Structure 1
């Protein structure tokens, strides 16, 4: 587990945005297109704001979420809407969004289309993940209905996931997709999540799903 401590959150966000941009630039020297995968929620918003203005060939960058709630962009709980507000603007407006939500009553109704679109942009070049105090990452929640399937080495790239802690049904990338990213970053803040991270290292993946990426992720923490 490669853990980097920062004295404050502002410094962490700046350093992380610079590191992600550098990794994408280097990858673009070797490939025609690259894929950046990011979390929802408010914690990474400062990283997105910084990235959106950095010099990068954004027209050759695919962007997708780690996971999405099964709600449209008019919902305040839409990760896609958050992404548009904080990342897909400025210079980064030229990036191509790969959606994890398509209009339908249930995620299963559009799963084939979503899976095909995600498969086309794999492997992930850079993935940025968050973690909940329950040690979930993406929508790999402890106790979720398809968690064991999502953690398996032969898991499909995306799955519909339902869990008591998740609220709405979710679409999530599976553990193998996250583990196979060229560069993996985990962003956490505060004492409670630091404690949860340390506990995750002592538990099996089925109880602490974030453990699936800990062996190869760079973990960025600030108080």
Structure 2
């Protein structure tokens, strides 16, 4: 597990975009394709927007999402819609390379979770799962104290009673996150500093779900200086 701290949010986003472009090129050259699970949140969307003018062979890149709000497909709350507006509709990625988690309206939440789990299995190994983190140390839609944090398996689960609206969501399990080759936690802001310190201090996943986010090959905490402020004070 590695920690990289940048001076300011803009530097974090720019450097992470460069890091991601380099990884995509490496994967495409080595294996012919790359599979990335995207994240929502303000920093996650800023990161996607920063990729618009970068040189990426989008025909070889497949994307899905580590979590999604279970709302109508055209809802502005959808991570997928925000990602399309920031990046995917502005680059030449084939439609078949974009694997959205199901939207509300055509199936129940449990049916949507089952369909998303099957889709994830068909995608195969996820090369990189991008994660943001909330001030409560949640990642994807795995929230402290909710049963999803302990739910086994490597698929997508139904999340009910989310403390953040909307209440119904779909989320990678901890196992699905851990089955990814790489996990990058991209976090900015002073309001996240306590959660970063908690997650990196050995807290239980029930108290800090971010503490359970590990990739098989690589785990990176990519922070701005405000999010890392308590780590610097504590020397962790």
Q: TM-score, normalised by structure 1?
A: 0.89
Distance in 1 (CA, whole Å) between partners of 2:19 and 2:92 is 16
Query: After superposition, what is the alpha-carbon deviation per residue over 1:80-100, rounded to whole angstroms, capped at 9, x for unaligned?
Result: 110111120333543621111
2:185 maps to 1:175: no
Aligned to 2:184, what secondary structure does the other structure show? Answer: strand
Q: Cα deviation per residue 1:37-63 (whole Å; 9 max; x = unaligned)?
A: 111122222210121321121112111
Which residue of 122, 127, 130 corresponds with 1:128?
Answer: 130
* Mapped pair 1:83 → 2:83: yes
Structure 1 Cα separation of the partners of residues 90 and 75 of structure 2:
23
The within-5 A match list for 1:5-24 is: 5-24=5-24
Matches within 5 A, 1:104-123: 104=106, 106-123=108-125
**Using the alignment, how far apart are the partners of 2:51 and 2:89 within structure 1?**
10
Q: What pairs up with 1:47-196 in 2 under 5 angstroms?
A: 47-94=47-94, 96-102=97-103, 103-104=105-106, 106-149=108-151, 152=152, 155-167=153-165, 168-196=167-195
Range with bigger deviation, 102-111 or 177-186: 102-111
SS of residue matched to 2:49: helix
Q: Aligned pairs, how many?
A: 219
Equivalent pair of 1:54/1:91 in contact (CA under 8 Å): no
The farther-off stretch of 176-185 and 89-98 is 89-98
1:195 to partner: Cα distance: 1.9
Q: Tell me the SS of whatever aligns to 2:221.
A: strand
* Residues 1:29 and 1:65: Cα distance change in structure 2 (over 3 Å): same
**CA apart distance, 1:7:** 1.0
CA distance in 2, matches of 1:145, 1:174: 11
CA–CA separation in structure 2 for the residues paired with 1:105 and 1:50:
34
Does the 8 Å contact 1:162/1:170 carry over to 2?
A: yes
CA RMSD, 1 decimal = 1.9
Structure 1 residue 67: Cα displacement? 0.2
Unaligned runs of 5+ in 2: 227-236
Distance in 2, Cα, partners of 1:178 & 1:16: 19
How far apart in 1 are the matches of 2:148 and 2:84?
29
Distance in 2, matches of 1:195 and 1:214, equals 19
How many angstroms does 1:68 deviate by? 0.4
- Which 4+ residue blocks in structure 1 deviate beyond 4 angstroms? none
